[in-house]
Amino acid sequence: MNMLLLTLFACGDKTEDTGSFDTDVEDTETEDTDDTDDTDDTDDTDDTDDTDDTEPPAVLDIIGTYTDSWGGSQIVTEDTWSTGYGSIFHISQFDNDAGSIIAQNDAGNSYNPDLFSKFEWTMDNDGLYYCQSAYDAATEEDAMNAAADATDITTGCGGFGWTELRNQLDITGSFSDSWGGSHTIDAFTWVSGSSSYHVLESDNELDYLIAQNDSGNSYNPDLFSKFEWTMDNGAWYYCQSAYDAATAEDAMNAAADATDIAAGCGGFGWTGLIAE
C-alpha cells in the first residue's frame, strides 16, 4: 500500500514539473523575442560614422614650381622649399590662413646652414608674392616672430620688395631656333634676339602666352603679341601668331594651327626650338 502511494505521488510530481517547464519555455520565447528588438535600437553603432567626419591633414596651398621675378626658380613641395640657387629649406610647419611657412635651412646650404627661415606669401592684384622674412633665425620660435608687411609689396619685405612668383612655363629655358635665332623664355619675358616681350598671362594647358612688346623693340613697340607652342615628335615648335595687335584682347583672338607644323602659323611653318 505504501509503495503504491509513493508511486502515485512520484508520477504526480513529474506531470507538474513537465507542465511548469512548458510554461517557462513559452514565457522565455515571448520575452526573448521582444528583447532582441531592443538590439535594433542600438543606434550607437551608427554613431561610429562620426569617425568619417575626421578632417584630413591640411595641404600646403602654395605647392608648385615657380619662376620668380628675378629669373630664378622656386620649387615648393609639402616637405621643402627649394631655390634655383641650390638652397633647400625643410618645412616644419605652415599656416595657410596666415600665409606662412617655418623651415630649417639645410645643412648643406651655402648660407646659414641649420638655422631657421620664415617664408610668407600673399596675393596682390591677382599676382602671387613671397618674402623670406627670416633666413638666419637661431630657433624655430625666433623665425615665427619675424613678420613682413603684406600691405606694402614695394618695401614691406624688410625694406625690400616682395618677390613675385608665377607658375613655370613648360617651355622655360634657353633655345636656338631653326633660323639661327636665340630665345630665352620664362614666365615673365620672352626674349627673341634683341626683342623682348613682357608676359601678361599664360596657360600651360592651352600652350600660349600673351605679352606686350617692349617699348625698345625695333618692330611694333608697345603693341601686343601672342606666342603659341607645341611638341611634335619630341621637339618644341613655336608660332608668334600675333605680333602687332592693338590690345591684349586682340592678341588673344589670334590662333595658329598646331596640327599643321608645315603651314599652320599664318600660312608659314612653325619654328623649331632646340634647347641649349
Is the pLDDT reported for residue 7 higher than 50?
no
Predicted confidence at residue 85, as pLDDT, reads 87
Predicted confidence at residue 17, as pLDDT, reads 41
Whether pTM > 0.75 for this model: the answer is yes
- The 10s digit of each residue's pLDDT in 36-59 is 444 444 454 455 555 566 778 899
Predicted confidence at residue 23, as pLDDT, reads 38
Poorest-confidence range of 9-18, 81-90, 131-140? 9-18
Predicted confidence at residue 52, as pLDDT, reads 61
Give CA torsion, residues 253, 258, 263, 266, to 10 deg: 10
Predicted confidence at residue 29, as pLDDT, reads 45
Contact 229, 192 (CB under 8 A): no
Of the candidates 143, 92, 90, 148, the one whose C-alpha atom is nearest the C-alpha of residue 120 is 148
Task: Please count the other Cβ atoms lying within 10 Å of the Cβ belonging to residue 67.
Answer: 23
81 falls in which pLDDT band (50, 70, 90)?
A: very high
Q: How far apart are the first and last CA of the chain?
A: 128
Is the pLDDT reported for residue 60 higher than 50?
yes
- The arithmetic mean of pLDDT across residues 177-200, rounded, is 97
Poorest-confidence range of 6-10, 118-122, 158-162? 6-10
Predicted confidence at residue 125, as pLDDT, reads 84
- The arithmetic mean of pLDDT across residues 152-164, rounded, is 97
Q: Output 52 or 82, whichever has higher pLDDT.
A: 82
Contact 235, 229 (CB under 8 A): no
- The 10s digit of each residue's pLDDT in 199-258 is 999 999 999 999 999 999 999 999 999 999 999 999 999 999 999 999 999 999 999 999
